Copies of this chain bind each other. A is one copy, B any other.
Amino acid sequence: MKSRATGAEDKVAALRCVRCGAAYAEGEVPYTCPPCGLEGVLDVEYRPGPLEGLAARLRADPERSIWRYLDVLPVRGTAGRPGLHVGWTPVYDFPVLARRMGLGGLRVKDEGRQPTASFKDRASAVGVTKALDLGYRQIACASTGNAASSLAGMAANTGLEATIFVPATAPEAKVAQLRAFGARVLLVEAPYEAAWALCQEAVEAFGWYNRNAAVNPYLVEGKKTCGLEIAEQCSSDPPDWVAVSVGDGCTVAGVGKGMEEMRRLGVWTGAPRLLAVQAAGAAPLAAAAARGLEDCEPWPEPRTAADSINCGEPRNGRKALRAVRASGGRWVTVEDAAIFDAARDLAAATGVFAEPAAAAAYAGVVCARARGWLTARDRVLVVSTGNGLKDVAGAARAAPPARRVAPRLEAVREALAHPGLAQA
């Protein structure tokens, strides 16, 4: 196979297939391992050279975005990269809530503060930069969710043309977010799987860059920046556990990889265990972990209201299972009702408004504490992966109802005295 110059050869040692272990040079293959096909997701390995002295360089670097990590990202970035501010999202400490939950500590990293309000901006920023590195003018993905709106936003910012394949049944509000950024949105008259397959076919036929995290090896590197940041932001007090909700598996794998890289580079001594949280209605990876498998089996009819993790056939399952196991972590599943309760409790106790899939991570912490998997000594960091504004109705589903009152002070007084009565 003929290699294509990417400009990242000086940093990337190899792209290694998670299934067969074969190693490819940077630029040798565009997406997955050819013999293994879609199951042969590649993992980026770095050369030691550019990493030497990184810890010291980071301490001196005033940049507060994912681009402070350019030395450990598989892009050159000189042909352009998004100017939107991605990364360095806040980590909040909630000691009162931790005590109430019977934990040694509770921190929340709020990814809802990203440019398009979700964690996925980390991946899209790197994907778009890679596309520009490689000289593409067009980029595509199949998604109705945060990956798509994130790609649409980053593409708009950099002048790339984005085409997004969604099933024609996608909710209008989700589609509107994509249209807003001027992306070309194709409503495919078929289920999601067919829309995904059509996207694969189209990027091939029209020579577009492929931003599907299921096949693109570089996106997880963008997601890794969340783990890199956790290490720097918590270096003086590393958490014992980091809780992340899991759909495809790419996010938890990325967070784990980032934290681990920072440990090897001497940036911190933390080695948090990953608490990987799936919705009970879409839990192929938790099921595989329970059976000690290396990879998961498809989950027929995945069903959870936390749409960002409603995934029955995770493409990054191997990476996720390995990352959680390597960390000494655990898998936990949570019912949708517990997710809605978690969204309500987190917002009301902290002011962090999380979309259901993000609140699932917090729900997993509640569940793991109740089961005794987490103890009163454990200090936990929750990654809240998306903003509640992405799905206001879902995020507020378990919140206390509003109350109708007549326009008189007496009615207000009555409502205060009997908060449970006569709700709207």
Contacts and interface: CB of A to CB of B under 8 A. Distances in A.
B416 A177 contact: no
A381 B205 CA distance: 42
A419 B181 CA distance: 17
Interface centre among A177, A181, A202, A404 (most CB of B within 10 A): A181
A343 B182 CA distance: 11
A70 interface: no
Contacts of A156: 347-351
B83 A180 contact: no
A149 B164 CA distance: 32
A180 B404 contact: no
B157 A350 contact: yes
Contacts of A73: none
A47 interface: no
Contacts of A115: 110, 113, 351
B182 A400 contact: yes
A30 interface: no
A396 B184 contact: no
A84 interface: yes
Contacts of A110: 115
Given A399-B182, A404-B187, A393 B82 contact: no
Interface string A188-204: 11100011011001100
Interface in A145-166: 153-159, 166
A86 to B, nearest CB: 10
Interface centre among A96, A153, A176, A197 (most CB of B within 10 A): A176
Interface residues of A, number: 81
Contacts of A93: 83
B206 A402 contact: no
A254 to B, nearest CB: 22
Interface string A402-424: 11111111001101100100001
A130 B157 CA distance: 39
Given A195-B407, A348-B156, A402-B186, A181 B353 contact: yes
> How many chain copies?
2
A392 B173 contact: yes
Given A180-B399, A344-B180, A390 B389 contact: yes
Contacts of A186: 402-405, 412, 415
Given A351-B157, A353-B153, A412-B202, A187 B424 contact: yes
Interface string A98-142: 000000000000100101110000000000000000000000000
B351 A189 contact: no
Interface centre among A64, A115, A406 (most CB of B within 10 A): A115
A348 B152 CA distance: 9
A312 B187 CA distance: 41
Given A113-B113, A153-B353, A407 B188 contact: yes
List 4 A-B pairs, minimum CB-CB distance, nearest first: A182-B348, A157-B351, A190-B407, A185-B402
Interface of A: 64, 82-85, 90, 92-93, 96, 110, 113, 115-117, 153-159, 166, 168, 173, 175-182, 184-190, 194-195, 197-198, 201-202, 205-206, 343-344, 347-353, 387-390, 392-393, 395-396, 399-409, 412-413, 415-416, 419, 424
28 contacts: A64-B64, A82-B351, A84-B92, A84-B352, A96-B159, A116-B353, A117-B389, A154-B351, A156-B347, A156-B349, A157-B350, A168-B424, A173-B393, A175-B402, A177-B353, A181-B347, A181-B348, A181-B399, A182-B347, A186-B404, A187-B403, A188-B407, A189-B407, A190-B406, A190-B407, A201-B409, A206-B416, A387-B389
